[in-house]
Structure 1
Amino acid sequence: MPTSFDQSVIDEFRANGGKVGGPFEGGDLLLLTTTGARSGASRTTPLGYVRHGDSLLVVGSNLGGPRHPGWYYNLLAHPVVRVEVGTSSFEALAVPAEGARREELFAYVVRAVPGYGDYQERTRRPLPVVVLGRAEPAGWSGPGEVRTLADKLLEVHTWLRGQLRQVRAEVEAHFAARAAHSGPGEPPAPGLGLQIRQRCLAFCQALEFHHVSEDEHLFPGIARHHPDLSDVFGRLADEHRTVARVQGELAKLLAGVHIADPERFRAELGAMSEELEAHLDHEEEALLPLLADVPWPPERLRPTP
């Protein structure tokens, strides 16, 4: 739970379109909602931010204390966060900056808000600089207007495919950069960095949520009206388990802050990609015709006129 002070700031922020008084008056403030690393519960924290191009930067200063703040550990475990700025909100992918980029961005932040330099002087730990960017994969535009459950399923599949393509492209770019390096300077680090880890972890968590939702809600609902398709749903469930096994191997490699075995990660990612693409193709072939006349959102979720 937020402290009573933080909760008062959160309430004032939401009641006044992002404007607050007191120590935050006149500053750039956002609300960051993370998922608890251990509890799985939502946690909202008011934080100062600095705009950097299309992204927002937040710093894990913890007022110069010896440990990173709790929200930082939360976003390492669950990289997709919710950001509220002014009257708008959006889902973001949270990626801590590394190496030279962290130094560059921290200097940028300190030029905008010198107080962060004071916090850094109080502690030996490098203050994390976290980049908050839109969670959608590059070039994401969705499949068009969503009117039916078939459209919604296709939208989710398109998002998953886009995320997977982006993870694979970032991994291949890392290997290509190492192969092409001839100096001067150091080649890219042999392990894979936080950008790839965070995006892949976000993808794996979204995929798991999607499959659990299908297994527990979508498939049983359709099966009640189409008992003749029990074999189809049995095969789809088997495919979910196959994808989950490969996904589990990826999860083991993502357990640390850095991916220490990039060659194995690359192989496991390739295996999951093949399994998932075949599964999505089969699922669309089987389900889209059945869902084409089911309106989305369901009546109970539609806003009252």
Structure 2
Amino acid sequence: METPDTRLTAFGNQLIEVHNWLREELARLGDDVDAHLEGRAERPRQLRAHCLAFCSALTLHHTGEDAGAFPALAERFPELRPVIEQLEHDHLFVADILRDLENLVDGLDDRPPGPEEARRVRVTLDGLAAVLETHFLYEEKKIVAALDGLGSPGDPDFRPPAWLESSKND
């Protein structure tokens, strides 16, 4: 059973788990895109729903980092501020790619796409996958130890990050 102590001390590991889940979902989305582009998919509406769900999950993850985890890390570990600024910049870049992908997938209809349309969708998805993998690896390398270092309620000097405190009042 997960306790508040294990949840906090394993926060960096949770980040890796979320990244792994997002990697898996992106691979599944890629399979769905390929099926549609090759004329093997039944309904583009399902592809659009899957794309929207993935894009929303990734956006929510990045928004949570930007509003919660990153400010807490910057406060506790000021030396990480340049890393956090780079990660926030990455989030903006990824958001632009997500918008492009959503627009491309939204434009697909029941017919198999032409070669140029298929190429644009595939190139955008491949670009997203490459950018995300680089971003995830960098983030994991640079902040996992710091996330785990935020401490736990059992530590005598523990001071919960403000973003954890705010959830108590919701």
TM-score, with length taken from structure 1: 0.42
Amino acid in structure 1 at the alignment position of 2:125:
L
Q: Deviations over 1:49-90 (max 9, x none)?
A: xxxxxxxxxxxxxxxxxxxxxxxxxxxxxxxxxxxxxxxxxx
Quote the residue 1:208 is aligned against.
Answer: 59
Q: Distance in 2 between matches of 1:256 and 1:171?
A: 13
Match of 1:172 among 20, 34, 54: 34
Amino acid in structure 2 at the alignment position of 1:162:
E
CA contact (8 A) 1:148 1:296 kept: no
Quote the residue 1:221 is aligned against.
Answer: 72
What is the RMSD computed on CA atoms of the aligned residues? 3.0
Runs of at least 5 residues in structure 1 that lack an aligned partner in the other structure: 1-144, 179-186
Of Structure 1 and Structure 2, the greater strand share is in: 1
Quote the residue 2:25 is aligned against.
Answer: 163
Runs of at least 5 residues in structure 2 that lack an aligned partner in the other structure: 1-5, 154-159
Q: Deviations over 1:148-178 (max 9, x none)?
A: 2112212211111110011112223444xx4
Of Structure 1 and Structure 2, the greater helix share is in: 2
Say if 2:98 is the partner of 1:236. no
Q: Deviations over 1:235-258 (max 9, x none)?
A: 111111211111111122244574
Quote the residue 2:127 is aligned against.
Answer: 271
Sequence identity percentage? 33
Match of 1:262 among 106, 118, 134: 118
Say if 2:100 is the partner of 1:249. yes
Quote the residue 1:141 is aligned against.
Answer: none
Amino acid in structure 1 at the alignment position of 2:134:
A
TM-score, with length taken from structure 2: 0.72
Deviation at 1:188, TM superposition (A): 4.0
Deviation at 1:192, TM superposition (A): 7.0
Amino acid in structure 2 at the alignment position of 1:167:
L
